[in-house]
């Protein structure tokens, strides 16, 4: 095994294996972060004046860029939603928003050192296709005038199938987008009505067919289990139809019902939700169905065809996680633009205001908008490396930690290793002289393994997370 890159092609067969053990999931299932960063967003502190400018000015220009553009608008309120979305019928609101967005982009670009190439772009929200086709073209052309884009980059957009115009997918493909993510959630009409997101199977089939015809490299479908009126049988029917559509990736999320925190969820009645045991059975059936259909379990609710770049990156030891979830280009600095957008630049994480009015005020006043900040230290970097490799590659290599960080991991993590002994006895992990491996029976519980190494996780965050399942 090469310590230089111990995660590369380590266990090609490992990622074909996943075991669903209900008793062990019940034993270890508890609330925890999704680790889109470490430290997590719960460690944000107020941003000092001038700090964002210093971070941007001092970033390493040799590091490529991943740009995230947040479009916070939706035409419809989905009742399961836990995001700060702005529901409006007027596209003119988005037009005004683009004016602010362009000003923020120019300001940040003026501060950053020149020379970096964009290798990744993602439009998220909200519903980015809330923008008109002309506005999408305007945004793309503006970004290309400001930045140097790699011709073979990863350029993606989240799509609400209900908001597409006849030529939107063709226009996006002509611009250079090569990856799509469709929000579906469930195909059962009763469930769709209960969450205020009604869209027919015919519509989903049409947009998937169009994406294939137009030559998009990868398509993702989002599903949610645990929604009101879902049953084991209805969820089985949904997953069967989705498999027929053959998306390259699937994100299958556990619905966390938190009406005290998210106003939209107050439209959902507790008595309409499936029981915890039914939810667990749904996820078990989803794993079985997708595995039998040939999908690779990536981790934290994500699946991909073995031919997809995400699955390839995992097998090659090159998968990463950031605020967009799993990422194939984790060597990039992530620069976020728009309301609530998060940036990850070296050891720094920043976030823009979550309220539109606050964001607009900052931009009108010619200020860089970030209001929250995390700066990690060497100890954070070590633990981030451990947590992210456990979640991305099911492995933590002792030799690599010795060489890269100059530590003896069996001593530094003696308490954590001792904590994992119960999981080892239950066959979830293997601990040996080379490192810690998450076994097929433990892959669903990867977050629980990672939590052992989180120094920030404590009672102060109780109730802030969803359970793993």
Find out whether 313 is annotated in a ligand binding site. Answer: no
d(CA 240, CA 254): 18
Burial group, residue 66, by CB count within 10 angstroms (0-12, 13-18, 19+) = buried
Under a CB-based contact definition with an 8 Å cutoff, are residues 243 and 55 in contact?
Answer: no
For residue 112, CA distances in Å to 33, 63, 101, 214, 342 come to: 31, 12, 17, 36, 16
Find out whether 126 is annotated in a ligand binding site. Answer: yes
Find out whether 74 is annotated in a ligand binding site. Answer: yes
Under a CB-based contact definition with an 8 Å cutoff, are residues 101 and 141 in contact?
Answer: no
Which residues are within 8 A (CB) of 316 and not within 5 positions of it... i.e. 6 or more apart? 8, 9
Which residues are within 8 A (CB) of 57 and not within 5 positions of it... i.e. 6 or more apart? 111, 112, 113
Pairing mode, strands 249-254 and 302-304 = antiparallel
Find out whether 127 is annotated in a ligand binding site. Answer: yes
Q: Which residue has the tokens 């997918």?
A: 169
Max Cα distance, the chain (Å): 61
* 112 three-state secondary structure: coil
Tokens representing 264?
């939209």
Under a CB-based contact definition with an 8 Å cutoff, are residues 52 and 370 in contact?
Answer: yes
Find out whether 50 is annotated in a ligand binding site. Answer: no
Find out whether 256 is annotated in a ligand binding site. Answer: yes
Find out whether 222 is annotated in a ligand binding site. Answer: yes
Find out whether 83 is annotated in a ligand binding site. Answer: no
* 372 three-state secondary structure: strand
Find out whether 297 is annotated in a ligand binding site. Answer: no
Find out whether 392 is annotated in a ligand binding site. Answer: no
Find out whether 82 is annotated in a ligand binding site. Answer: yes
**Residue positions forming the annotated binding site:** 68, 74, 78, 80-82, 125-127, 158, 185, 197, 222, 256, 342
**Residue positions forming the annotated binding site for S-adenosyl-L-methionine:** 68, 80-82, 125-127, 158, 185, 197, 222, 256, 342
**Residue positions forming the annotated binding site for [4Fe-4S] cluster:** 74, 78, 81
């Amino acid at each position: 095994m090469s310590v230089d890159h111990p995660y590369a092609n380590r266990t090609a067969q490992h990622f074909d294996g996943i075991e669903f053990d209900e008793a062990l999931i019940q034993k270890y299932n508890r609330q925890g972060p999704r680790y889109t960063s470490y430290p997590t967003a719960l460690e944000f502190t107020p941003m000092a004046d001038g700090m964002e400018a210093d971070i941007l000015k001092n970033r390493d220009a040799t590091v490529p860029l991943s740009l995230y553009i947040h479009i916070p608008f939706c035409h419809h309120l989905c009742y399961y939603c836990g995001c700060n979305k702005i529901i409006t019928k007027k596209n003119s609101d988005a037009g005004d928003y683009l004016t602010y967005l362009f000003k923020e982009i120019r300001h940040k670009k003026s501060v950053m050192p020149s020379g970096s190439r964009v290798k990744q772009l993602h439009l998220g929200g909200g519903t980015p296709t809330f923008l008109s086709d002309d506005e999408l073209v305007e945004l793309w052309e503006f970004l290309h005038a400001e930045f140097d884009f790699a011709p073979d980059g990863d350029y993606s957009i989240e799509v609400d199938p209900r908001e597409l115009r006849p030529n939107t997918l063709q226009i996006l493909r002509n611009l250079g987008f090569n990856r799509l993510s469709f929000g579906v959630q469930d195909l059962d009409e009763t469930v769709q009505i209960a969450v205020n997101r009604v869209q027919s199977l015919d519509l989903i089939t049409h947009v998937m067919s169009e994406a294939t015809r137009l030559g998009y490299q990868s398509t993702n479908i989002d599903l949610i289990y645990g929604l009101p009126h879902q049953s084991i049988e209805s969820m089985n029917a949904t997953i069967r139809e989705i498999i027929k559509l053959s998306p390259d990736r699937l994100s299958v999320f556990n619905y966390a019902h938190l009406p005290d925190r998210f106003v939209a969820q107050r439209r959902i009645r507790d008595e309409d939700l499936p029981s915890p045991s039914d939810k667990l059975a749904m996820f078990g059936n989803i794993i079985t169905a997708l595995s039998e259909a040939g999908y690779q379990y990536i981790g934290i609710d994500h699946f991909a065809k073995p031919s997809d770049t995400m699955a390839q990156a995992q097998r090659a030891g090159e998968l990463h996680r950031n605020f967009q979830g799993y990422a194939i280009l984790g060597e990039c600095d992530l620069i976020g633009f728009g309301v609530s957008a998060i940036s990850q630049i070296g050891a720094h994480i920043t976030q823009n205001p979550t309220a539109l009015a606050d964001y607009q005020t900052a931009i009108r006043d010619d200020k860089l908008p970030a209001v929250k900040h995390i700066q990690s230290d060497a100890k954070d970097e070590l633990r981030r490396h451990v947590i992210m490799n456990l979640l991305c590659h099911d492995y933590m290599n002792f030799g690599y930690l010795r060489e890269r960080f100059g530590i003896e991991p069996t001593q530094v993590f003696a308490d954590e290793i001792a904590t994992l002994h119960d999981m080892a006895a239950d066959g979830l992990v293997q601990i040996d002289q080379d490192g810690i491996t998450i076994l097929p029976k433990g892959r669903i519980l990867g977050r629980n393994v990672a939590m052992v190494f989180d120094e920030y996780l404590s009672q102060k965050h109780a109730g802030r997370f969803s359970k793993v399942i």
